[in-house]
Chains A and B, each alone.
Chain A
Amino acid sequence: MEIKADLCIGCGQCVIICPVQAIKLIDNIAVIDKNLCVECSICKRNADCPVNAIRSRRLKWPRVIRSPFSDVISTHRLTGIPGRGTEEMKTNDVTNRFGVDEIGFSIEIGRPGVGTHLGNIELFTTKLTSIGVNFERESPVSALLIDDSGHIKKDIKEERVLSAIIEFKVPLNKAILVLQAIKQIEKNIDTVFTVGVISQVMKDGAIPILDLLTQQEFSVRPNAKVNIGLGKV
């Protein structure tokens, strides 16, 4: 994004609405910090700039990678998927993507609202690769991986985005390794991340992963997403 300095009247509406606080008023003119800007386009769409000073720029590689990980209406060029994630458990009653003995994980780096540089992805993916997880092939993050060790392209590591979701699954007996890795990585990361855990619900209502989460001293939020099994092939 860019703000035309010759048009800006310094009303500050874009400053207020920027989710990553990348816009500041300097000498009564709105200025975008290009390093902090994640190219989400929220300022352009929602600031109601009275002089139409906010403009989209044609982004070049590698900066162009910021937009699909930040702009809610942008589609990933790498995957053709809009948004930052996949169908994950939303259609599991049809796809059986997560079987009864499997546990899915969604780790969203930069959420809520802090943002991240893409290099943080490697903190997780290199460790998770050594555990032997199955990354979701349709995930935009999986499309960034360049080798079997969980590395991503060097030239995109410094690019900042609003968030990036790592999606994968493991057999239930390997979930403990993932949970232990999360605790280790938490100590070294320079941003925040959220963790979601996906499990089929057994016929008796049991959720197999709950005991392990308790053993490993993870708190489970009282609210969740529940697929109620109405989907059909």
Chain B
Amino acid sequence: MTHSLHRTGKINDLKSDYIILAMLAAGINDKYPDAKQKLLRVAEILNQNNPVNIIPKPAWKISPVITATFIDIEMVKNVIQTLKQEDLGVSIVISGLISEIQEAVKETGLKMHTIHLSLGTFGRKGLLPSEEILEITTMCGHHCISPQSVKYYVELIKSGKISVENAAKKLLKPCVCGIFNPTRAITLLNKLSGIFS
């Protein structure tokens, strides 16, 4: 999957949206006897640094990837620093603003190894929902969140039938990878429902 690559949004919104993914290479370093333990250790480190979302704990032992979402680049730096110190040998990919990641990596004495750039969306863009809705739906890497569910919950928020926080939780449910950012969703839902325009 291209998981978090094509998240949309303005730079200010993206400043509070970072995903860290950990993975071992199939047939190479995932075959070592301690491979699973190393991946579990990464999951613990991610969990200790206040993620706003993380792949569900029961999946830690069976998933080939561990993912977590952060809203603060300082927490991302803490994670990188700890991973560097522990030298687990697990591949780490950070998604977010290139400029912020570049700075975070530099501060921790590392360098970017490989980058996956997004050139955006092409083709029949008239089929897409509004940019504001896409900012929410593209936070699920497999695009499991429907545009009409965003509209539905915005209407419920407007009519006072659900809180913004609960609406964000409901929207998050189909996304099983732990990369949907509920805190950013709350901000975006507030804007969409006119609470903060």
Contacts and interface: CB of A to CB of B under 8 A. Distances in A.
A230 B112 contact: no
6 contacts: A91-B23, A113-B143, A113-B147, A165-B2, A226-B101, A226-B114
Contact of B117 (A42, A113, A221): A221
A201 to B, nearest CB: 4
A18 B148 CA distance: 8
B116 interface: yes
B112 A17 contact: no
Contacts, number: 266
Interface string A195-228: 1111111010101010001000011111111111
B119 A89 contact: no
Nearest to B112: A201
Nearest to A20: B146
B93 A89 contact: yes
Contact of B28 (A16, A95, A165, A224): A95
Contacts of B186: none
Interface of B: 1-7, 9, 11, 14, 17, 21, 23-26, 28-29, 64-65, 80, 83-84, 87-99, 101-102, 105, 110-125, 127-129, 134, 137-138, 142-149, 152, 173-174, 176-177
Contacts of B174: 17, 19, 42, 45-46
A189 interface: yes
Interface of A: 15-21, 40, 42, 45-46, 72-73, 82-85, 87-95, 98, 104, 106, 108, 111-114, 162-163, 165, 182, 186, 189-201, 203, 205, 207, 209, 213, 218-233
Contacts of A228: 80, 92-94, 101, 105, 110-113
**Which of A90, A165, A207 is the most central at the interface, judged by chain B CB atoms within 10 Å of its CB?**
A90
Given A85-B2, A113-B137, A16 B93 contact: no
Nearest to A108: B2
A19 B143 contact: yes
Given A85-B2, A93-B114, A233-B29, A192 B96 contact: no
Nearest to A40: B144
Contacts of A200: 113-115
Contacts of B124: 114, 189-192
B6 A112 contact: yes
Contacts of B119: 194-197, 213, 218-221
A186 B112 contact: no
Contacts of B117: 196-199, 207, 209, 213, 220-221, 224
A153 B90 CA distance: 38
Contacts of A94: 24-25, 28-29, 91
Contacts of A84: 1, 142
